């Protein structure tokens, strides 16, 4: 049995080819790539700041903002602001309406309680949409174009006939299509 010099390299080559075929056949199935995206950026809070601040208006604030942040965004308190009536540490939620009272406002008077142990009242916070079937006068007056007289008319009207559609508010004397257009996105007749 005479072997030629080429039988050894041929055996090695066949062994390598066999190993390559085995590895190629047993390779894991190729799957679709996974695209990793950054987590969504949280939307800022939108807060309406009114009353005794230098620049009333709508402000976009980061999540976990407090009343103090909203007041600072609105330029700070005016000289007439009743700072003691405002809990600046209160947390805000999206859609809040902050009404910073003045020194002479009846709503800013603190109750006669041992004030050494009680915290001052927070500013009025209105959550939108306002339910026109259950809202109080302050909530109704937070709507554009609605003052104390019109708020009283709304409450008197709904006592006789609750609103079934938001459009029914136009039946109240003093509320026409122009006012309705301003408030339609801010009101509801659903349950709170």
Q: What is the pLDDT of residues 50-83, one digit of tens each?
A: 889 999 989 999 988 999 999 999 999 999 888 8
Highest mean pLDDT among 9-23, 26-40, 70-84, 121-135: 70-84
Evaluate whether the domain defined by 128-192 bears CATH number 1.10.150.320: yes
Q: Which two tokens stand for residue 60?
A: 């976009």
Are 86 and 100 in contact, with CB atoms under 8 Å apart?
Answer: yes
Q: Rounded to 5, what percent of the chain is helix, strand, coil?
A: 35, 15, 50
The stretch 96-105 carries a mean pLDDT of 82
E-strand stretches of the chain: 45-51, 57-61, 97-100, 124-125, 130-131, 187-188
For 189, the token pair is: 């007749």
As a whole number, mean pLDDT of residues 133-152 equals 88
Q: How far apart are CA 186 and CA 33, in angstroms?
A: 45
Q: Reply yes or no: is the peptide bond before residue 129 cis, omega within 30 of 0.
A: yes
**Alpha-carbon distances, residue 107 vs 10, 111, 157 (angstroms):** 100, 10, 25
Domain segments of the chain: what residues?
Answer: 42-127, 128-192
How far separated are the first and last CA of the chain, in Å rounded? 99
pLDDT the model gives residue 69: 93
The predicted structure's pLDDT at residue 111: 29
- Residue pair 183/154 in contact (Cβ under 8 Å)? The answer is no
- Domain 42-127 indexed as CATH 1.10.10: no
**Could you tell me the pTM of the whole model?**
0.40
pLDDT of 123 reads 54
pLDDT band at 117 (very low <50, low <70, confident <90, very high): very low
Per-residue confidence at 8, pLDDT binned at 50, 70, 90?
confident
């Amino acid at each position: 049995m005479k072997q030629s010099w080429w039988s050894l390299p041929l055996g090695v080559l066949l062994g390598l080819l066999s190993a390559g075929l085995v590895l190629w056949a047993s390779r894991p199935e190729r799957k679709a790539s996974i695209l990793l995206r950054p987590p969504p950026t949280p939307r800022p809070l939108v807060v309406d700041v009114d009353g005794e601040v230098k620049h009333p208006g709508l402000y976009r604030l980061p999540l976990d903002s407090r009343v103090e942040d909203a007041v600072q965004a609105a330029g700070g308190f005016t000289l007439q602001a009743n700072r003691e009536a405002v809990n600046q540490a209160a947390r805000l939620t999206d859609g809040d309406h902050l009404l910073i009272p003045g020194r002479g406002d009846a709503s800013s008077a603190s109750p006669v309680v041992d004030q050494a142990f009680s915290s001052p009242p927070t500013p009025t916070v209105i959550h939108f949409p306002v339910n026109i079937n259950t809202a109080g006068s302050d909530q109704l007056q937070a709507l554009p174009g609605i003052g104390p007289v019109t708020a009283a008319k709304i409450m008197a009207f709904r006592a006789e006939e609750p609103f079934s559609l938001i459009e029914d508010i136009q039946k109240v004397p003093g509320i026409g299509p122009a006012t309705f257009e301003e408030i339609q996105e801010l009101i509801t007749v659903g349950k709170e």
